[in-house]
């Protein structure tokens, strides 16, 4: 079985600050994908960033980057120069590369960016 | 490409009624997934379908819930005899292949009164 744990239910930072959201996971699979999804009040699930476990290089997408520590089973998301539009729920998720590729989600972190 | 379309966006049903949730995948996508999100929780996998086939329904409740993805038309998630505990947001996602990653729709919020 796979599990994903997000230990920070809520976070709040000032606009332009940097914020890091934590995620740990457990899986017995050798190869898997890790994701961060953003869910704004509109409820749309938006893919923020994706990491393949066999790639050692941390993924980056503009202001978003991850710190992937495979041995520690940790996958944190860093948001630089935070903007008001970053306010949302953020979900960490995991899926094995083989099989049906069902996503297992964490409980989410509610991030608020204050002006 | 219009993205993954789900309708209705909001659905209100009385206890005991049936709920039908529709999902039209992106053009060219033959893999469809359904997820359920209870309030203040992450999404939980329900079922994975390809055209005319249920591939994995390990997350579906054993009773009252069913899903289909016919050769023509949208995928349907059907909940019979709804109860208050079925109130949730139901998300559909589609993918062109297993290695591609998938795109979510905006979800259907079901409220059972």
* Residues from chain A contacting residue B89 (CB–CB below 8 Å): 43
pLDDT above 90 coverage of chain B, percent: 78
Residue in B42, B56, B104 closest to A106 by CB = B42
Q: Please give, rounded to a whole number of angstroms, the shortest distance from the CA of B15 to a CA of chain A.
A: 25
Whether B40 shows a pLDDT value over 90: the answer reads no
Give the span between the Cα atoms of A113 and A106, in whole angstroms: 21
Whether B30 shows a pLDDT value over 70: the answer reads yes
pLDDT of residue B81: 98
Question: In which band, very low, low, confident or very high, does the pLDDT at B41 lie, cut at 50, 70 and 90?
Answer: confident
Torsion of CA B42, B34, B87, A89, to 10 degrees: 30
* Residues from chain B contacting residue A2 (CB–CB below 8 Å): none
Question: In which band, very low, low, confident or very high, does the pLDDT at B100 lie, cut at 50, 70 and 90?
Answer: low
Instruction: Render B21-52 in DSSP notation, one character per residue.
Output: EEEEPPTT--EEEEEEE-TTS-EEEEEEEETT
Q: Are B50 and B31 in contact (CB under 8 A)?
A: yes
* Residues from chain A contacting residue B56 (CB–CB below 8 Å): 100, 102
Whether B43 shows a pLDDT value over 80: the answer reads yes
pLDDT of residue A10: 97
Distances (CA, A) of A50 to A92, B81, B84: 10, 39, 35
Whether B1 shows a pLDDT value over 60: the answer reads no
Residuewise pLDDT in 10s, chain A (115 residues): 899 999 999 999 999 999 999 999 999 988 899 999 999 998 889 999 999 998 889 999 999 999 999 999 999 999 999 999 999 999 999 998 877 788 999 999 999 999 9
More confident position, B20 or B102: B20
Give the N- to C-terminal CA distance of chain B in Å, as an integer: 36
Question: In which band, very low, low, confident or very high, does the pLDDT at B74 lie, cut at 50, 70 and 90?
Answer: very high
For residues B81-102, average pLDDT: 88
* Number of Cβ atoms within 10 Å of the Cβ of A83: 11
A97–B99 C-beta distance less than 8 A: yes
pLDDT above 70 coverage of chain B, percent: 96
- Burial code (b: 16+ CB inside 10 Å, e: under 16) for B72-81 equals eebbebebee
For residues B32-38, average pLDDT: 95
A105–B106 C-beta distance less than 8 A: no
pLDDT of residue B101: 72
- Reported as half-sphere exposure (CB side, CA atoms, 13 A), residue B29 has a value of 30
Give the span between the Cα atoms of A90 and A47, in whole angstroms: 10
Q: Does A50 touch chain B (CB under 8 A)?
A: yes
B56–A100 C-beta distance less than 8 A: yes
Q: Does A96 touch chain B (CB under 8 A)?
A: no
Give the span between the Cα atoms of A100 and A28, in whole angstroms: 16
A44–B104 C-beta distance less than 8 A: yes
Q: Does A84 touch chain B (CB under 8 A)?
A: no
Q: Does B55 touch chain A (CB under 8 A)?
A: yes
Mean pLDDT of the residues in chain B: 93
């Amino acid at each position: 079985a796979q599990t994903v744990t997000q230990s920070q239910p809520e976070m709040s930072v000032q606009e332009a600050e940097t914020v890091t959201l934590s995620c740990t996971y457990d899986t017995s699979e050798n190869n898997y994908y890790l994701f961060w999804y953003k869910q704004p009040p509109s409820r749309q699930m938006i893919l923020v960033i994706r990491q393949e476990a066999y790639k050692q290089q941390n993924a980056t997408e503009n202001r978003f980057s991850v710190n992937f520590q495979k041995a520690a089973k940790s996958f944190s998301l860093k948001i630089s120069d935070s903007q008001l539009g970053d306010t949302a729920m953020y979900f960490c998720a995991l899926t094995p590369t083989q099989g049906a590729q069902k996503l297992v989600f964490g409980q989410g972190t509610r991030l608020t960016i204050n002006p | 490409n219009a993205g993954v379309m789900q309708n209705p966006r909001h659905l209100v049903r009385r206890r005991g009624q049936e709920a039908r949730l529709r999902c039209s995948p992106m053009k060219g996508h033959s893999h469809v997934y359904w997820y359920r999100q209870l309030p203040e929780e992450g999404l939980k996998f329900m079922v994975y379908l390809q055209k005319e086939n249920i591939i994995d329904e390990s997350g579906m409740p054993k009773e009252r819930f069913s899903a289909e993805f016919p050769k023509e038309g949208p995928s349907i998630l059907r909940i019979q005899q709804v109860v208050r505990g079925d109130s949730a947001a139901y998300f559909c996602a589609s993918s062109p292949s297993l290695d591609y990653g998938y795109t979510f729709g905006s979800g259907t919020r079901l409220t059972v009164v």
